[in-house]
Amino acid sequence: MQTYAGVGAAPIKARETVHHRVVIIGGGTGGITVAAQLARKGVRDIAIIEPSSKHYYQPLWTLVGAGVAKPEQSVRDEAQFIPKGARWIQDYAVEIDPDQQIVCTRNGTRVRYDFLVVAPGVVSEWSKIQGAEEALGHNSVSTNYSYELAPKTWEFIQQTKEGVALFTMPNNAEPGYTIKCGGAPQKIAYMAADYFRMHNRPVKVIYATAGNTIFTVPEFCKVLEGVCARYNIEVLTGHELVAVDPVRKVATFALKDKPGEVREIEFNMLHIGPPQRPPQFVRESPIAHQEGRFVGFVKVDIHTLQNPDYPNVFALGDASGLPTSRTGSAVRKQAPVLVHNLLRVMDGKEPDKHYGGYTACPIVTGYGRMVLAEFDYSGKPTPTIPFINTCKERFDMWLLKKYGLPWMYWNLMLRGLA
């Protein structure tokens, strides 16, 4: 990795201290969207701390796992999306000192800020599932939650000619943990079931979730239960995956309603939805929740996205302690609120714009079918597309997922235009 990559700025010397008016941690969906919008509003002195030279459109990984998109379609060079004039510090943030207003990076750069936006996303905690890390990518065990492994999912689906295809969803309610796009583990179950149906394969599909329902919003839950019934998918609730034996091809689940008891299920292929949480430097920083459901996530007012203890700190996206589903669509609604409120605070005013918890999960339910689940903090459906019922499975929504949303992401959202 380079120690820096300055776009519109001088290279940083080893262990140098630099200063920027706005510093953004993370150049993913949230970080770049905010940077682009700030740049369009005339903010000039922006630095983005982002280690990766690549930018990923992660929602496409579901379609990669189902064999209808190529992994290369989900990746572009990060440099293309650093707004003109902003500095890209290509390094990992490792510590936030909000009292001194400094972010330290892995290579020893001290980045001073006047205002900070925190958007480093979440990391998969594979160590919570015994044997998973070693099994992934081999022995018919995969996940769509990684650029490298999503193509393996497709390989394993095609190789499964009979037996059991097992799909798991982690405990999304455990304090300190989450899973981004909580619909993704079931989307790939539907795609696989549809593939087995089309190819007349006697494969039993099991969807095992640690939760007590397949979807938290009752209106969508009903539709998805119908989808499971159509494919004859067996849904197991209260089943938390705790271990994988890739040699015996056995998955072990802790049973939520029988504490201390486990159940083993043999599989021919296994897709794992990983437990996730914010990176360590966020969890250990003073800007994180110290307790409660969102312990370790960035503490923010759930409407203004401002940290209550450090008013010059804002957060959005997966690492923020917002009680809504973690999606790029949520980020699209959070970003303009954050930018508006940040600009007011930079002007010495109070934040006055509110985010209502909007999130959207495009749930593909088969080849050529999709339900668009949109809802907010109230847990009620909040459809945004006029005239059509997006709560039902639709072909036009599938086209939106496959073509419309990726185009919008690369060309509008990351450019600060949507």
Q: What amino acid positions are annotated as catalytic residues?
A: 181, 361
What minimum distance in Å lies between the beta carbon of 69 and ligand FAD?
12
- Cα(162)–Cα(169) distance, rounded to whole angstroms? 22
Residue nearest to ligand FAD (CB): 28
Which residues, including other chains, have CB under 8 Å from residue 356's CB and lie 6 or more apart?
A: 303, 333, 376, 377, 378
Tokens of 333: 């609604």
- Cα(311)–Cα(295) distance, rounded to whole angstroms? 19
Of 49-57, 189-197, 299-307, 366-374, which segment contacts ligand FAD by CB under 6 A?
A: 49-57
β-pair type (203-209, 75-77): unpaired
Give me the 347-366 binding string for ligand FAD, x by CB under 6 A, dash otherwise.
Answer: ---------------x----
Are 246 and 137 contacting, i.e. CB atoms less than 8 angstroms apart?
Answer: no
Question: Read out DSSP for 53-116?
Answer: SEEE-GGGHHHHHTTSS-GGGGEEEGGGGSPTT-EEE-S-EEEEETTTTEEEETTS-EEEEEEE
Question: Token match 């999912």: residue?
Answer: 153
Site membership for ligand FAD, residue 317 (CB under 6 A): yes
Q: Is 186 helix (H, G, I), strand (E, B) or coil?
A: helix
What minimum distance in Å lies between the beta carbon of 162 and ligand FAD?
27
Of 12-20, 197-205, 214-222, 327-335, which segment contacts ligand FAD by CB under 6 A?
A: 327-335
What minimum distance in Å lies between the beta carbon of 192 and ligand FAD?
14
What minimum distance in Å lies between the beta carbon of 347 and ligand FAD?
25
| Cα dist from 189 to 33, 47, 228, 320, whole Å | 31, 40, 9, 28
What minimum distance in Å lies between the beta carbon of 226 and ligand FAD?
20
The size of the interface with ligand FAD (CB under 6 A), counted in residues, is: 36
Which residues, including other chains, have CB under 8 Å from residue 206's CB and lie 6 or more apart?
A: 164, 165, 166, 167, 233, 234, 235, 236, 265, 267
Tokens of 291: 């307790």
Are 96 and 113 contacting, i.e. CB atoms less than 8 angstroms apart?
Answer: no
Amino acid letter for position 401 = K
- Residues within window 268-287 making contact with ligand FAD, judged by CB under 6 A: 279, 281
Q: Toward ligand FAD, which CB reaches closer, 52 or 312? A: 52
Which residues, including other chains, have CB under 8 Å from residue 385's CB and lie 6 or more apart?
A: 372
**Using the rule CB under 6 A, which residue among 4, 5, 9, 31 binds ligand FAD?**
31
Q: Toward ligand FAD, which CB reaches closer, 92 or 154? A: 92
- Cα(98)–Cα(147) distance, rounded to whole angstroms? 33
**Using the rule CB under 6 A, which residue among 5, 38, 49, 141 binds ligand FAD?**
49
Give me the 161-200 binding string for ligand FAD, x by CB under 6 A, dash otherwise.
Answer: -------------------xx--x----------------
Site membership for ligand FAD, residue 26 (CB under 6 A): yes
Site membership for ligand FAD, residue 331 (CB under 6 A): yes
Of 114-122, 206-214, 262-270, 291-299, which segment contacts ligand FAD by CB under 6 A?
A: 114-122
Site membership for ligand FAD, residue 36 (CB under 6 A): no
Tokens of 23: 């510093």
Q: Toward ligand FAD, which CB reaches closer, 58 or 168? A: 58
Q: Toward ligand FAD, which CB reaches closer, 181 or 254? A: 181
**Using the rule CB under 6 A, which residue among 194, 318, 374, 393 binds ligand FAD?**
318
- Residues within window 50-89 making contact with ligand FAD, judged by CB under 6 A: 50-52, 58-59, 61-62
- Cα(391)–Cα(333) distance, rounded to whole angstroms? 20
Site membership for ligand FAD, residue 416 (CB under 6 A): no
What minimum distance in Å lies between the beta carbon of 317 and ligand FAD?
2
What minimum distance in Å lies between the beta carbon of 72 and ligand FAD?
16
Question: Read out DSSP for 327-365?
Answer: -HHHHHHHHHHHHHHHHHHHTT----------EEEEEEE
Residues engaged in binding ligand FAD (CB under 6 A): 25-31, 49-52, 58-59, 61-62, 92-93, 119-121, 144-145, 180-181, 184, 279, 281, 317-319, 326-329, 331, 362
